Amino acid sequence: KYLLVFDFDETIINENSDDSIVRAAPGQALPEHIRQTFREGFYNEYMQRVLTYMGDQGVKMGDFKTVYENIPLSPGMPDLFQFLSKNHELFEITLISDANMFGIEANLRAAGFYSLFRKIFSNPSGFDKRGYFTLGPYHSHKCLDCPANMCKRKILTEYLAERAQEEVEFERVFYVGDGANDFCPSVTLTSSDVAFPRKGYPMHRMTQEMEKKQPGAFQATVVPWESAAEVARYLQEVLKK
């Protein structure tokens, strides 16, 4: 069995969903005083402030849901998901995302692919008594390269250990992502694994830089993609062998 790990923002979907939900805000924009509170590495805290502002403006659960449901999938992603549906028994599929549970679930259910995923790891979210959309951090960690609320390497490592305890060993791990926070877990992949960075995005650039600086240090095979159909084709070849 193979483990297939997906990122969500700008990987499964063709946008950053945190930016997308601003479409539900009055005038589809945020006021400058909120935007100025953003600090590098503390995006989750920033989004908590954004959501409080939107709640104050009367943006409701249904408004957010509509936005999430309408975010387009990335090029070729439906093809890849169709392929995975047909070969479901060969792949265990998980999703690790710094977005939020409510948004991911709304989007994947609308697209018809929610049931493909065995497990989704993302920031906890929901609606409080006032009907405000609330967001929390996923966990805390000691990784210096990742945002304060989530280290995907920690999540992936713990998941593999947990599955090993349940006597599930994966022949290979495939990781599909785009961002710097996807580079962190992909560094732990072995030479039999495959990293699929989206072409021209930070994860792709970082694998290239590492290869230049320390040839051979990045062990996984790197297969960049522009359309997820390329990922499907690669996996098809793997199954033929």
Q: By the 8 A CB rule, do 123 and 99 touch? A: yes
Looking at residue 128, the DSSP 8-state letter turns out to be -
Residue 7 annotated in ligand binding: yes
Q: What is the DSSP secondary-structure string of 164-180?
A: HHTT---SEEEEEE-SH
| Active-site option among 9, 79, 145, 193 | 9
Dihedral of the CA atoms 135, 136, 142, 148 (nearest 10)? 30
CA dist 209 → 180, 202, 203, 206, 222 (Å) = 12, 10, 10, 5, 13
Q: How far apart are CA 86 and CA 73, in angstroms?
A: 19
| Active-site option among 7, 19, 56, 193 | 7
For residue 7, indicate whether it is catalytic.
yes
Please give the radius of gyration of the chain, using alpha carbons only, rounded to the nearest integer: 18
Residue 98 annotated in ligand binding: yes
Q: Which of 83, 29, 87 is nearest to 54 (CA)?
A: 29
Count of C-beta atoms within a 10 Å radius of residue 162: 11
Residue 128 annotated in ligand binding: no
Residue 56 annotated in ligand binding: no
Residue 208 sits at φ, ψ, to 5 deg, of -65, -45
Token duo for residue 96: 């690790």
Residue 145 annotated in ligand binding: no
For residue 79, indicate whether it is catalytic.
no
First-residue to last-residue Cα distance in the chain: 14
State the binding site. Answer: 7, 9, 18, 98, 178
Active site residues: 7, 9
User: Residues comprising the binding site for Mg(2+)?
Assistant: 7, 9, 178
Binding residues for substrate: 18, 98
